[in-house]
Amino acid sequence: MDFLAVTKQVTNIINDTAVADIHTHLYSEAFGELMLWGVDELLTYHYLAPELLRLRPDLRPQDYFKLGKKEQAELVWQEIFVTHTPLSEAARGVVTVLHELGVDTSEKDLNTVRKYFQDFSPAEYIDKVFELANIKSVVMTNDPFDKTERKVWNQSKHQDERFKSALRLDGFLMNYTENLPALHEQGFSMSENLEEKTIIASRDFLKHWIDLITPEYMAVSLPPDFRPDDGSVCARLMRLCVLPVAQECHLPFAMMIGVKRQVNPELELAGDGVGKTDVSAIEELACEYPDVKFMITLLSRENQHELCVAARKFRNILPFGCWWFLNNPSIIHEITSERIEMLGLTMIPQHSDARVLDQLIYKWSHSRSVIAAVLAAKYFDIMKTGWRVTKEDIQRDVNRILGGRILEEFRGG
């Protein structure tokens, strides 16, 4: 089989395999206004705001953010998609979504585009997007301090099994003191001093939410200078509460490390930056807690090789995804190649990190093509030696890294 034939076979298998997207910020219909979808949400997503403001140096960020969503969307459309060519990955993503939906963009008229979305109910649109993107499930990001979410969970309104949960602990670990009133409101008596009574109550709080939402994992987003031994409230809560509960409940703990919050506050949600972290912090935790499964994604490109090396040494580390600023085809290709070369198929190459439902379409379309190219090259390399690789072999491998098998094995291993 020549290289083109191998590439075609791998591409077809990857495109036909329904993806289990292990990290998103999406919500099912039951969560009401938290479910974001449609072209105006795509255009006003914070990936595009910095690009707009670079094209319009006369426009002050505060003036842009004062506009309503409709007006923001129209400004973004005009500047990025009409006045200029949408070549950035975020802008190209919008074009991919509209193309896959079959929306007529020949006149580049936003009002024409908007009309396409008017006839869909949220439930119908979820079905449409999941079918187009070939997604079998997504994992949400669920905040126990969000009142809208709490109401849905407490009333058992969330019924869509395609939307799985993840217990997000940023509010607990990074903003513990500020959230003490909310913890008391939920019936958990805690104090700023992490005495034994508070530690017990903190563990009870985590186990209550685990029982309530049955998450796939617990997760936190951390700054690049995170250290598990610095004596901070975050580090102490992690060691005294989160990791013991993770071990007791056999639940992975996902750490997403590298965000520098509000590098430019004028950009609001778009104002975060990236920093390189010290991977030895992850190694220390993996060594000290061998029975805890750590899912790790790092935001800095410069950290990726070190993470692969750490995962080779600790089988309780699972690298996953190309997160946020890494979600560009050139970087996904590099990182996926590196991971396969060092870890084989013991990693998860991608997650969407989607916040707008429609983003599932472009993020998985773009990522599938890159992952297929990397895998095809790797298969062809070993086939040139005479090693036989069957269609069934490829399907098994793809199911493992895209279809959710590896996370199931990691959780149960």
- Put residue 262 in one of left, alpha, beta given phi > 0 → left and psi -120 to 50 → alpha: left
> Mind listing the pLDDT tens digit for each residue in 177-220?
999 999 999 999 999 989 999 999 999 999 999 999 999 999 99
Q: In the predicted model, what is the mean pLDDT of residues 287-311?
A: 98
Question: Is the confidence at residue 47, as pLDDT, over 90?
Answer: yes
- Tell me which amino acid residue 246 is: A
CATH architecture of 3-37+103-412: Alpha-Beta Barrel (3.20)
**What's the pTM value of the predicted model, to 2 decimals?**
0.96
Question: Is the confidence at residue 102, as pLDDT, over 80?
Answer: yes
Q: In the predicted model, what is the mean pLDDT of residues 62-76?
A: 97
Q: Are 282 and 255 in contact, with CB atoms under 8 Å apart?
A: yes
pLDDT at 157: 86
Question: Is the confidence at residue 413, as pLDDT, over 70?
Answer: no
Q: In the predicted model, what is the mean pLDDT of residues 40-47?
A: 97
Residues above pLDDT 90, as percent of the chain: 97
Q: Which of 256, 394, 389, 397 is nearest to 327 (CA)?
A: 256
DSSP letters spanning 271-290: G-EE----THHHHHHHHH-T
| Residue 171, helix vs strand vs coil | helix
